[in-house]
Amino acid sequence: MPPAADQGASRRTVLRAAGLTALLGATGVTRAAAAEPAEAGGHDVIVIGAGFAGVTAARELSRGGLRPLVLEAQGRIGGRTYTAEFAGEKVELGGAWFDEGHPHAWKELLHYGQQRTVDQAPEVAFFPAEQGYRAYAPAEGFGRLAELVTPVFDGSKEYFPRPLDPFAREDLVGPLDRTTLIERIDALNLAPVDRAWVTGNLGGLSGGSARGSLTQMAQWWALSDWNYDKFSSATSSRLVHGTAAFIEAMLADADADLRLNSPVTRIEDNGSHVRVTTRRGTTYRARAAVVAVPVNVWNRITFAPGLPAEYRRLAEETVAVPSAKKIWLHLRSDQGLFYAAGAEGVPGIGDVIPTQRLGDGHLAYAFSTDPALDVTDRAQIQASLRRWAPDTEVLAVRGHDWGNDPYARGGWTYKRPGQLTGPLRAVQRPVGRLSFAGSDIALGWSGWVDGAIESGLRAAGQVLGR
């Protein structure tokens, strides 16, 4: 994506002049107009990144009496959430799901009156077989999957007794945090087909079961009350008006100034104030800053003085899945609403989840971590889907390649071995006048909007507590 000029009309002014409703488009953003002067002050805190972590921080800072400026690299707000229009429906190209078990997000949903909807259930489910794939009635297929997946997390009630505090039993979690997901799965000595079911289900979420840690998945399991039904249903409830409407409501409440198309390239902390420079060379000064961009992007920004070793290490290792892709599909198939799970490592689409019937066919979304998959190539995607349902016709696609998004450099959070008990707590602490926020470094629901909100609250509290 080529860099755009830094754009600068006050968000506060725009909101008051136009009204929030007029601003809500496919991505829930508006583009600003006038450029800022070369050195801009007048703000108490600079928030870098307008995802849920950054917007939460800006709102809390405003409530605390400070004047926040939000700098966002993209031409939209939302970060790794992204509401778009597809096949006449609102769809989410990034994070999408909410549940009553998400303590921070649920409170905000109720406060802002955001309504949820639940996807339609699949009519058939495809899982690996000795030769290719086999169709199951959903109750039978998912029932078997639950039986196979549950033992992976045996003992998690002991090592994650309070899931929102992953360090409650650090004596138990510490050794396990060095374990990859595949090492744990292989310890179960599953039959080859059973192993394919488990790695296909969990491996894609981890960005590769040899890459991801056991503890990340086990904490999600514990946060789901150690229950497969809750674990699997956590990705079935989304917002009627999209995440864009939700974050717009939060931003309006923040009464913050927003600059879109303003990627930050340099952050200087001289001990008395912070100076932030954008790609175009525009600079802003404030007493403090909140860095609310994905961990995978940290090393793309020059910090002066440089970040401590723990921060650099985490960014080099990556936290978010670096090749993550999400694709929405308008499908036509005699199979109807079909769910499909691929074997881990198979090229193309990893899994397919249907959401609703349309006048012609149905809507579904899919995930992939295959670097070779082009999210815009309808023919390539159709060929991938036909391994499950040979009659499938892909009428249209819309996807987002998060790994090749320069301002994300990865999709959903999935920590690697050693990151939970290693650098996580260190990077949650301020560095001079800088605080850090983002779902990647949340204690609880990392990888979810809830984790982003949790982290934004913490960062704002650090600034206000100085």
Rounded-to-integer distance, Cα 178 and Cα 420, Å: 9
Q: Which amino acid is at 425?
A: R
Rounded-to-integer distance, Cα 351 and Cα 385, Å: 9
Q: Where are the alpha helices (DSSP H) in 5-51?
A: 11-18, 20-23
Q: Which two tokens stand for residue 69?
A: 């400026």
The secondary structure of residue 317, as a DSSP letter, is H
Phi, psi of 196 (to 5 degrees): -65, -35
Dihedral sign from CA coordinates of 58, 401, 116, 232: negative
140 is annotated as contributing to ligand binding: no
> Which residues does residue 398 pair with via DSSP β-bridges, in sequence order?
328
45 is annotated as contributing to ligand binding: no
Q: Are strands 45-48 and 288-291 parallel, antiparallel or unpaired?
A: parallel
Radius of gyration of the chain, Cα coordinates, nearest whole angstrom: 22
Rounded-to-integer distance, Cα 108 and Cα 100, Å: 11
Query: Which of helix, strand or coil describes residue 16?
Result: helix
Rounded-to-integer distance, Cα 451 and Cα 402, Å: 19
Q: List CB contacts of 63: < 8 A, sequence separation 6 or more.
A: none
Are the C-beta atoms of residues 296 and 315 closer than 8 Å to each other? yes
Query: Which of helix, strand or coil describes residue 405?
Result: coil
Q: Residue 305: is the preceding peptide bond cis (ω within 30°)?
A: yes
The secondary structure of residue 114, as a DSSP letter, is -
Q: Which amino acid is at 383?
A: A
Are the C-beta atoms of residues 119 and 112 closer than 8 Å to each other? no
- For 303, the enclosing helix (H) or strand (E) is strand 302-304
Count the neighbouring beta carbons within 10 Å of the beta carbon of residue 107.
12
Rounded-to-integer distance, Cα 186 and Cα 8, Å: 54
Strands (E), 391-433: 393-401
310 is annotated as contributing to ligand binding: no
Q: Distance from CA of residue 61 to its chain's centroid?
A: 23
CA geometry: angle 151, 442, 176, nearest 5 deg: 35
Which residues does the annotation place in the binding site for FAD? 72-73, 264
Binding residues: 72-73, 264
